[in-house]
Amino acid sequence: MAELTTQERLQPSLLDRLTDDEPGKLEESREKRVISAMRLRDCVTRDVSWLLNCVSLDVSVDLDDYPEVARSVLNFGIPDLTGVSLSGINSETLQRQIKDVILAFEPRLTASTLRISANANQKRMDRQALRFSIESEMWAQPIPLNLYLKTEVDLETGNFKVSEGFG
């Protein structure tokens, strides 16, 4: 691995630091303690996918009297979209919900640069699919990194597929 300068060394998230990929080894290599920009993009993409594939607590419990719970990890995720028809979705509301949940639970993305845009997927209209693009800058040293995510939700299953880039 090429040497990273002090400014290019990015620290993994707490979850990634606590995950032991090699339980048989007693010491962690230097490559595991710092990550590259590419690895950071992969981790953020994975974490956004996990976030969008979780159903928030406020779907089943009224949290109006508990604003702290509504903003906590107990409410991690978005409203359940399983079985919702494409015509029954207000895409502006869903875009706002996705943006709000990303801002609440993904601090590595810069709030002022986060953009969510939705469009119906014409190729998979028969399967009730909706496609989103997520654009943002990620915090990094020495300069922020651009992140472009292609996100498709299958409304039959409520499953989000998140991948990097457009295409």
The runs of H, that is alpha helices, within 53-111 are 67-70, 91-105
For the chain, which residues make up each domain, given as ranges?
A: 6-19+27-164
Task: Name the most confidently modeled range: 23-27, 79-83, 93-97, 110-114.
Answer: 110-114
Task: Report pLDDT for 38.
Answer: 87
Task: Report pLDDT for 167.
Answer: 44
Q: pLDDT per residue over 116-163, tens digit each?
A: 998 755 555 545 788 889 999 998 878 899 999 999 998 888 899 999
Helix, strand, coil percentages for the chain (3-state, nearest 5): 40, 20, 40
Query: Which is more confident, 106 or 1?
Result: 106
Q: pLDDT per residue over 33-91, tens digit each?
A: 778 888 889 999 999 999 999 999 988 999 999 999 988 999 999 988 887 877 778 88
Query: Which pTM value belongs to this model?
Result: 0.82
* DSSP reduced 3-state for 152: strand
Q: Specify whether domain 6-19+27-164 bears CATH 3.10.450.40.
A: yes
Mean per-residue pLDDT for 16-35?
A: 75
